[in-house]
Structure 1
Amino acid sequence: MLSLLVALGLVTLVRTQGAIPCGTPSVQPITTRIVGGVESAANSWPYVTLVVDDLGYIAGSATILNEHVLVTSAQHFEGPGYSIFDVDITHWRVYAGEHNIHTKDPNERYYHIARVVLHPGYNYSSLENDIALIITRERMQFNVHVSGACLPDSTHQYTVGQKCYLPGWGSTAASGNEEVLNQVDLPILADDICTHHWPDFLPATEICAGYENGTKDFCADDIGSPLLCKDQSGQWYIMGIASSGGNCKLHDEPGVFEDVTKYSDWVKKTMEDAGFPYQP
């Protein structure tokens, strides 16, 4: 893990979620000529935030859904030997508008976590239902650098071979600069490919994406990062949440993502119950 050495920057050019549709960045992401992971264009993934624990270390990433709610992996907060009831959430932070963790980015701002809602069916042993919502204490300021991704509903479709993208601050396994937000293109794979690699793969609630030939992968600090897919409308939807995979130094096995389409009803109900209903 990397210690976070970032400073609070000013946020300008405020906009609201209602003013601009979800999943529409002001800076278009790099989507051509990618070989392995590359540094993302600044502000091209305004929905992706850095999650930092109470010791100042990177836990992973989360994705903004509205001004108070983010979605991420449940395993940040509960797993073998640690429980959500033992974690001092009040000292955790999410950094929005972040790009380089070792420079004073002018658009970054951190927010405290008020509470975390784990999926009631989450099992840390099998990583079944590995999804959680983060509720921030402060209202996140939306602008051209910070905004929400689109949440797919249960009818939203993705196809095998479709190219999607994972942005994150995880280790690059010496293949690039891990102090900046990097991105990697990951195609959707057939379920049987992940079943071959991972006998505990759950096709009913998980997505298989990535490669088998040793070219690209995500690492441990990318857990919770979104698998973002561009819809025909041009909007970016969070279709998956990075949950598990192989050795990213070998990058010869596909990754496993929670299928967000299977959880959209739970996400929307939980957001509404928290007083922050989802509005695309």
Structure 2
Amino acid sequence: MFPVGFWQGSSRHPVRHKWEQSRSDPVVTAQPWTAACLTLIQLYFHHQDLENLREPITGITETNKQTEEAEESSADASSQTTNHNTEKTARTGTRTQQKTEPGNKTPPARDDSLEEDGFWDVVGCPEQNFTRDSCSKVFCPPWKRCIKGVCACKMPYMCEKLKEQKPACALDGTQFISMCLINANKCRDKSKPTFSHYNSTCSDIVEAFNVTVEEKTVVGINIASGKKLICGDKWNMAAANVFCKSRDITEGATIANKVDATDQLAEEFSECVKVRCTGAEHSLAECRIYKPEKINNHTKIAAIKCYNKKDTTQSNTFRCVNGKYVKPVRLCDGVDDCGDNSDEMCCKKCRRSAFHCPSGVCIPQHAVRDGVRDCLGGIDEDIITDKPSQTNDTEESETEAFYTDPLFEIRAMRSQYESKLQCGIPNMDYTYKADDSSTSSHRQKRLVGGEEALPTQIQWQVAIQEDGSIHCGGVYLGGCWVLTAAHCVRSNPKSFRVKFSLWEKHRQQSTTDSIPVKRISIHPQYNSQTYANDIAVLLLEELKLKKTCMLENPAVRSVCVPWSTLQFPPDHTCTISGWGRDREGKSASILKWANVTLIKDCQNYYKDRFLPGMECAGNVDSCQGDSGGPLVCKDDSGLSYVWGLVSWGDKCGEPGYPGVYTKVAHYFDWIRSITGTPAVAKFNQ
């Protein structure tokens, strides 16, 4: 931590430039899815029409229901809560109102028992109407992209062709290059067919069916070897919701149960298959399907009843965002009971073995270490536990094996896209490399207010030079883009240069590069008096006859841009860097760094001066660094993000006055509108 008086003398108000007192607020320049043998999951009704799906499963006795509820209560009492104390988002994420999901204007009804329950976060979060399409909380599927906090349908052409591509078939027999393309079409036009299977020919297609036998409505699927029932093992409400929603019942299912395989069923169906769904699929064909197994006297079969509001009971007191009512005991268990996942989006901790993401989302244990990030910071893929994931691919393939698994395409698409934007990882060959001119004392010395950086340690740090003088820092986003505070620049780019790999403030090293600024885009709502929206994007001059602004520099790397204000919660430890000033007010000549902690409820310190788009960090009695300099946070996967830009603060060195930063995630869409999506979007695009 930086002791009292590290940076900026007696006040942390940004240095006022001679031109700032009189200039008016500048105007921004806007830029802007082996189955050669899979057949159709064929829908047919043996003794009932669609509406009968909503009728009670009379074969499910009252005893069965009571047993199920007793099991739920028992499981909650002995719940193994996976509660990783990863911080909730900071600054404006907790203060500014999130975008309400389109078409869902009424928030979930509040149940006072939820507060006593201890799992559901009753304050603030439910009113935001978070669902699986809320990309400030979760990742979008490959056929959607994050726009203003909501997963929106991609244009089909945005689905990239994979290096190892499996042709995909739609329900109408049309072949596409991927499942992504089918789902992108379906997303934009509900009349379009859903995904059927992977194959080079599409003469056989896959679709689910239901059968009513002895007053039991059970579910099956038609594959190449014939019609199979769905096994009860792995069958849950998430899968039941997928089935019912594919029948145009928006709320999904009311009951997902397991019934005995009767003699009549055994005569007609000799095998069943297990399915595992997340709840987001358009049909059971998109779920993981396991190899068929023989039905015997001990086999349980998946049974279902689709949702009907008339069946809502007094125990179903939680209202989902989509209007469905579920039991509060179903919240935060890692299973999509609502059908839109809104029952898993505002969780302080998780029931049973569900995994708790730092953003307050509960995911099923089988999603942990499955090769696909579900938590924003990737902790579900990078966490080290003594207990392996229940569905680790290697473990399951040795026992059950998959009949078909669309998850491979999602893995491949994410990996391919994410690899295109290399950010947030320093060049380790240069992280601890010093120039020959530097001494070991420089590398080891601790200074007042922080530790002296090594010459090429902080590879995204830049210095903003105006008319030959350096008053501000900034951060490199990659390409020709730099981010800094708005109060550090003005609308005349000719006065500014950006220095890379600068260690000593007034002396270049062998890796230092200096590049002129071509264009400055200051946030259009920047207020120089209140420091609201204190952020600017700089476009650098390209080299002659080249599309780059600098030659390849091993000591320069870009930082990632956060897209969600929930990525790093309060109490997360981050790093600040800059030159700044020491306790006596002297300008530091060597780049310094220190760890600081994100602070919750900063309005307690600055009252109405703390505005949306601001963040607090540091000890409440510490001073911060150069204006415009980066506050960088590292996620569980090791990627570094520029979480903030040094903006302002009061009474440097006095308790109760933490440093205030511009919260970069709050401005992701604005930044992207200037740089373009490829420059800053690593995930959710």
Task: Please state which band the TM-score falls in when normalised by the shorter chain.
Answer: 0.7 to 0.9
In the TM superposition, what whole-angstrom CA distance separates every residue of 1:106-154 from its partner, at most 9, and x where no partner exists? 1101000111001111111111111100111131334321121001112
Aligned residue among 440, 446, 451 for 1:38 = 451
In the TM superposition, what whole-angstrom CA distance separates every residue of 1:203-258 from its partner, at most 9, and x where no partner exists? 5311111112x3x3214xx0101110011111110011111012335576201111
Q: CA deviation at 1:265?
A: 1.1
C-alpha distance in structure 2 between counterparts of 1:167 and 1:142, whole Å: 23
Aligned-residue Cα RMSD (Å) equals 2.8
What are structure 1's unaligned runs of at least 5 residues?
2-17, 78-83
* Partner of residue 23, structure 1: 424
Alignment of 1:224-263 (within 5 A): 224-248=628-652, 250=654, 253-263=657-667
SS of the residue 2:676 aligns to: helix
Query: Are residues 201 and 102 of structure 1, via their aligned partners in 2, closer, same or farther at CA, if it must alter by over 3 Å?
Result: same
- Asked if structure 1 preserves the Cα contact closer than 8 Å seen for 2:465 and 2:496, the reply is yes
Greater helix percent: which structure?
A: 2
Aligned residue among 201, 204, 216 for 2:612 = 204
C-alpha distance in structure 2 between counterparts of 1:36 and 1:143, whole Å: 30
C-alpha distance in structure 1 between counterparts of 2:594 and 2:655, whole Å: 12
C-alpha distance in structure 2 between counterparts of 1:141 and 1:64, whole Å: 15
Query: Are residues 35 and 161 of structure 1, via their aligned partners in 2, closer, same or farther at CA, if it must alter by over 3 Å?
Result: farther
C-alpha distance in structure 2 between counterparts of 1:263 and 1:163, whole Å: 21
C-alpha distance in structure 1 between counterparts of 2:586 and 2:555, whole Å: 24
Alignment of 1:33-112 (within 5 A): 36-54=449-467, 56-77=468-489, 84-85=490-491, 88-112=492-516
Whichever residue aligns with residue 555 of structure 2, its letter is: H
Whichever residue aligns with residue 218 of structure 1, its letter is: Q
Whichever residue aligns with residue 166 of structure 1, its letter is: I
Query: Are residues 66 and 251 of structure 1, via their aligned partners in 2, closer, same or farther at CA, if it must alter by over 3 Å?
Result: farther
C-alpha distance in structure 2 between counterparts of 1:259 and 1:266, whole Å: 12
* Partner of residue 6, structure 1: none
Normalised to the residue count of structure 1, the TM-score between the two structures is 0.78
* Partner of residue 114, structure 1: 518
Normalised to the residue count of structure 2, the TM-score between the two structures is 0.34
Which one scores higher on RCO, CA 8 angstroms, separation ≥ 6? 1
In the TM superposition, what whole-angstrom CA distance separates every residue of 1:14-50 from its partner, at most 9, and x where no partner exists? xxxx7882111124589xx998411112222111100
Aligned residue among 203, 217, 221 for 2:623 = 217
Query: Are residues 35 and 104 of structure 1, via their aligned partners in 2, closer, same or farther at CA, if it must alter by over 3 Å?
Result: closer
C-alpha distance in structure 2 between counterparts of 1:175 and 1:89, whole Å: 29
C-alpha distance in structure 2 between counterparts of 1:266 and 1:142, whole Å: 28
Moved more, 103-112 or 133-142: 133-142
* Partner of residue 80, structure 1: none
- Asked if structure 1 preserves the Cα contact closer than 8 Å seen for 2:479 and 2:679, the reply is no
In the TM superposition, what whole-angstrom CA distance separates every residue of 1:154-198 from its partner, at most 9, and x where no partner exists? 26511211111111111122499811110121100112xx32332
C-alpha distance in structure 2 between counterparts of 1:270 and 1:20, whole Å: 17
Q: CA deviation at 1:74?
A: 0.4
* Partner of residue 170, structure 1: 580
* Partner of residue 179, structure 1: 589
C-alpha distance in structure 2 between counterparts of 1:225 and 1:278, whole Å: 18
Alignment of 1:260-271 (within 5 A): 260-271=664-675
Pair 1:161 & 2:571 matched: yes
Whichever residue aligns with residue 179 of structure 1, its letter is: S
C-alpha distance in structure 1 between counterparts of 2:656 and 2:662, whole Å: 20
- Asked if structure 1 preserves the Cα contact closer than 8 Å seen for 2:421 and 2:681, the reply is no
Identity percentage of aligned residues: 27
Query: Are residues 142 and 239 of structure 1, via their aligned partners in 2, closer, same or farther at CA, if it must alter by over 3 Å?
Result: farther
Query: Are residues 176 and 162 of structure 1, via their aligned partners in 2, closer, same or farther at CA, if it must alter by over 3 Å?
Result: farther
Alignment of 1:119-130 (within 5 A): 119-130=523-534
SS of the residue 1:25 aligns to: coil
Moved more, 172-181 or 260-269: 172-181
SS of the residue 1:242 aligns to: strand
C-alpha distance in structure 2 between counterparts of 1:201 and 1:235, whole Å: 32
What are structure 2's unaligned runs of at least 5 residues?
1-14, 16-418, 433-442, 543-548
Whichever residue aligns with residue 208 of structure 1, its letter is: C
Query: Are residues 43 and 225 of structure 1, via their aligned partners in 2, closer, same or farther at CA, if it must alter by over 3 Å?
Result: same
C-alpha distance in structure 2 between counterparts of 1:35 and 1:251, whole Å: 18
C-alpha distance in structure 1 between counterparts of 2:575 and 2:624, whole Å: 11
Greater Rg by CA: 2
